[in-house]
Homo-oligomer: A and B are copies of this chain.
Amino acid sequence: MVRRRPTMRDVAREAGVSQSLVSIVFRDAPGAGEQTRERVLEVARRLGYVRDESARSLRSTRPLSIGVCFRLGRPFHDAVLEGLYRAVAGTPYRLVLSAVSGSRAEEAALDDLEACRCGALLVIGSLLEESELSVRARRIPLVSVARRCDSAEIDWVVSDDEGGMDRAVAHLQGLGHESVTYLSCPGASGGENRERAFRKVAQRLGLVGGAQVRVGGESEEEGVRIAEEMVAAGNVPSAIIASNDSLALGVLGGLLRHGVGVPERVSVIGMDDLKALHRPRVKVTSLCQDTSRLADLAIGRALRRLSPAEGRGTRPRGTILPMSLEVRDTTGPATLGKRPGGA
């Protein structure tokens, strides 16, 4: 019943190389050409080779785990995790996950990863003070995903909120909208950054008088509440950008329930939570982060830190990836003769 596990010897035979070359590849040591390296890793993956860490960790001093700290119940985090698993496949490294949730602090999640001897940490959407991240980054290489860091210790990969916002506002202007209300999300990772981006873009694109910022939130419930307040106050803007898709879905639902047509009367744009958009018949126009590329780059950064050649001393790298505006069903031409809200 017990299937025999493939050994390093099996990998060597199948790849047509010596066992010591396989070992070199797995240890990421110098001596293997790029093509050989890739062939060995491909064969190892195909055969389902699993390193026996119980023996190995006693021999090697180099940890083979990359720790990932993520938040439970966030579609964006789940999408990044999917990407990280794809990016790490075929490398000698494996991911070890630790979750943050309502009842579990980010510090505790990171402590667990450090206690696990991870070689590097990836932190998705951190809400910690940057100084706290820096302290950890001095002990262990740390890559911040979806949260920009200015310290000299931390690599980071984020999406270009400002460029994305530019695209969103320009799209609305192109449809004739002269006023846009931005619904913020103060508590979220990157929330301030997005709000600042909106203000800058609104100014740059000449939307000054027609740009409003209103405190939003992270949940659909908050979106519904805001939409209903707008309707009740007879103050429904012609276009809304919500700082996340849950909020956008709530706004959409709240407006539709009160007979305010989307996009006939109001255009709505969301941000981020790709999967939250998969609601039957509701296709929200949204600014999307490229979770695959964020993940690829994050793994690349971690591997660079873990490589004996480059190692730790080098300066950290930050990368800003473009966001795409996915135009779907919730944005359309501005109504010229504006009816009072709620009509």
Contact = CB atoms under 8 A, between A and B. Distances in A.
A30 interface: no
Interface string A99-132: 1011110011001101111000000000000010
Interface stretch (A49-57, A202-210, A315-323): A49-57
Contacts of A3: 135
A78 B85 contact: no
A16 interface: no
Interface in A220-268: 220-221, 223-224, 250, 253-254, 257
Interface stretch (A275-283, A303-311, A325-333, A334-342): A275-283
Interface in A53-111: 53-54, 57-58, 65, 72-73, 75, 78, 81-82, 85-86, 94-99, 101-104, 107-108, 111
Contact of A99 (B81, B111, B112, B279): B81
A189 interface: no
B115 A50 contact: yes
Given A3-B135, A96-B96, A117-B57, A111 B52 contact: no
Contacts of A115: 50-53, 94
A52 B223 CA distance: 44
Given A57-B117, A58-B58, A72 B82 contact: yes
A139 to B, nearest CB: 8
A69 to B, nearest CB: 10
Contacts of A104: 82, 85-86
Interface string A162-199: 00000000000000000000000000000000000000
Contact of A117 (B2, B54, B72, B102): B54
Given A50-B115, A115-B51, A280 B221 contact: yes
Contacts of A86: 103-104
A82 B103 contact: yes
A78 B77 CA distance: 12
A73 B78 contact: yes
Given A86-B103, A104-B82, A224 B135 contact: no
A134 interface: yes
A85 B97 contact: no
Given A224-B280, A280-B250, A102 B116 contact: no
B131 A1 contact: yes
A138 interface: yes
A300 interface: no
A101 B75 CA distance: 12
Q: Which of A48, A73, A103 has the most CB of B within 10 A?
A: A73
Contacts of A111: 48, 50
A104 B257 CA distance: 39
Nearest to A97: B97
Contact of A103 (B2, B57, B85, B254): B85
6 contacts: A53-B117, A57-B57, A73-B75, A85-B99, A219-B278, A220-B280
